[in-house]
């Protein structure tokens, strides 16, 4: 059954017997055939016990690795190994049914918001950042002392727009009072154009330029990206979703993972490295004294130079 887990983890839609779909047969798991044109209706059946070759009701037999490779856009020899690994385990954790999301609520920032005031600027300066530079490079703003979105309070926070593929898709906020229960609060799910946990933090312009760098530096949070610069991308925390692994894999072939220097984060860094390596990527794990975001700017610049070589800032 663990071919099913692979399809779940990599976000490939499928049907099984019992799901009420006419193409579902006992012992088989069906996905959309990537080889035939026309209506996509779960024509490609994968035998769950012997999943290496599959059969399309329309266009015949295929190597399952080739089919999944075509769907995900990764080399089929890598996919072959991934299938083999998944067949080694027997536990399936099915997620709740994912409903197609129709975005009836437009993306909106908490109201009111505006340019950074002295409190916001002082907060960023206390963390060793130049507010003017963050405003111009990352488009950050600030919420007021009373600021709401959908009846959720976003008072006194740095407002951080999130872009993906050149489009504003969500936002993150960071408390500046030190008194809020939640340091970080993102856009409500129903207003996100794309769920931020499926993408990476970068700026609209940076993402296009990632191939300029010999590697992409993967960090946990927005402050880490601000510190390390445009060659860095953040995963919004250490619980990394498979969609984010795929987003990384599509963005570059070489990675330095620089998570916070504590055991939980380093454990997640190792898991991320394993997943990226399974997709044929080159991955190195690096650590700094504390969090990348807490480094001195000169220290951070030197670190990036050490990782990427030459003048990469």
Long-range contacts of 106-109 (CB under 8 A, 24+ apart): 106/191, 107/168, 107/169, 107/170, 107/171, 107/187, 107/191, 107/192, 107/193, 108/149, 108/191, 109/141, 109/143, 109/149, 109/159, 109/171
**Smallest gap, in angstroms, from Cβ of residue 198 to Zn ion?**
28
Contact call for residue 300 and Zn ion (CB under 5 A): no
* Of residues 204, 232, 206, the one with CA closest to residue 218: 232
- Report which DSSP code applies to 158: E
Q: Which CB, 33 or 269, lies closer to Zn ion? A: 33
The answer to whether the beta carbons of residues 273 and 238 sit under 8 Å apart is no
With CB under 5 A as the contact rule, which of the stretches 27-35, 87-95, 274-282, 284-292 interacts with Zn ion? Answer: 27-35
Q: How far is the CB of 73 from Zn ion (least distance, A)?
A: 18
How far apart, in whole angstroms, are the C-alpha atoms of residue 241 and residue 102? Answer: 21
> In angstroms, what is the minimal distance from the CB of 67 to Zn ion?
9
Q: Which is nearer to Zn ion, 59 or 146 (CB)?
A: 59
Cβ-based nearer residue to Zn ion, 41 or 286: 41
Nearer to Zn ion, 37 or 102 (CB): 37
Question: 8, 12, 24, 36: which one contacts Zn ion (CB under 5 A)?
Answer: 36
CB of 88 to Zn ion, least distance (A): 28
Q: How many residues bind Zn ion (CB under 5 A)?
A: 6
> According to CB under 5 A, which one of 33, 232, 248, 283 is a site residue for Zn ion?
33
| Residue 53 C-beta: closest distance to Zn ion, Å | 13
Tell me how far, at minimum, the Cβ of 20 lies from Zn ion, in Å: 22
Region from 6-14, 34-42, 79-87, 242-250 binding Zn ion, contact rule CB under 5 A: 34-42
Q: Which of residues 43-72 bind Zn ion (CB under 5 A)?
A: 56, 58-59
CA max distance for the chain: 67
Residue 38 CB, nearest distance to Zn ion (Å)? 9
For residue 49, give the nearest of 96, 93, 83 by alpha carbon. 83
Please give the structure tokens belonging to residue 34: 């990537």
Strands (E), the chain: 14-16, 28-31, 44-47, 53-56, 60-63, 111-114, 141-149, 152-153, 157-164, 167-175, 184-186, 216-219, 232-234, 254-257, 282-285
Cα separation of 201 and 221, whole Å? Answer: 8
The CA distance from 51 to 193, in Å, is 35
Residue 44 or 308 with smaller CB distance to Zn ion:
44
Q: How far is the CB of 55 from Zn ion (least distance, A)?
A: 9
**Counting contacts by CB under 5 A, is residue 40 touching Zn ion?**
no
3-class secondary-structure state, position 168: strand
Q: Closer CB to Zn ion, residue 59 or residue 119?
A: 59
Rule CB under 5 A: say whether 35 interacts with Zn ion: yes
Nearer to Zn ion, 45 or 120 (CB): 45
Binding site for Zn ion (CB under 5 A): 33, 35-36, 56, 58-59
């Amino acid at each position: 059954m663990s071919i099913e887990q692979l399809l779940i983890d990599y976000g490939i839609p499928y049907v099984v017997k019992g799901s009420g779909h006419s193409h579902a047969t006992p012992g088989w798991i069906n996905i959309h055939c990537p080889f035939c044109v026309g209506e996509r209706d779960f024509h490609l059946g994968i035998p769950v016990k012997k999943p290496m070759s599959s059969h399309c009701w329309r266009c015949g037999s295929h190597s399952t690795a080739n089919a999944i490779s075509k769907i995900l856009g990764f080399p089929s020899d890598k996919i072959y190994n991934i299938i083999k690994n998944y067949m080694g385990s027997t536990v399936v954790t099915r997620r709740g049914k994912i409903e197609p999301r129709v975005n009836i609520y437009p993306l909106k920032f908490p109201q009111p918001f505006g340019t950074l005031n002295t409190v916001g600027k002082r907060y960023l300066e206390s963390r060793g950042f130049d507010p003017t530079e963050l405003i111009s490079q990352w488009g950050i703003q600030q919420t007021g002392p009373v600021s709401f979105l959908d009846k959720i309070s976003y008072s006194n926070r740095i407002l951080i727009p999130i872009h993906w593929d050149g489009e504003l898709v969500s936002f993150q906020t960071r408390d500046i009072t030190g008194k809020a229960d939640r340091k970080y609060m993102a856009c409500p799910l129903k207003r996100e154009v794309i769920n931020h946990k499926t993408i990476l933090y970068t700026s609209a312009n940076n993402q296009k330029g990632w191939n300029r760098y010999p590697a992409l530096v993967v960090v946990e949070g927005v402050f880490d990206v601000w510190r390390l610069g445009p060659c860095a991308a953040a995963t919004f925390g250490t619980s990394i979703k498979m969609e984010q692994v795929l987003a990384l894999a599509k963005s570059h072939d070489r990675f330095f993972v620089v998570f916070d220097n504590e055991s939980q984060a380093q454990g997640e860094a190792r898991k991320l490295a394993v997943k990226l390596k399974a997709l044929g990527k080159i991955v190195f794990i690096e650590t700094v004294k504390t969090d990348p975001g807490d480094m001195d700017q000169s220290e951070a610049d030197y670190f990036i130079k050490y990782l990427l070589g030459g003048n990469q800032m």
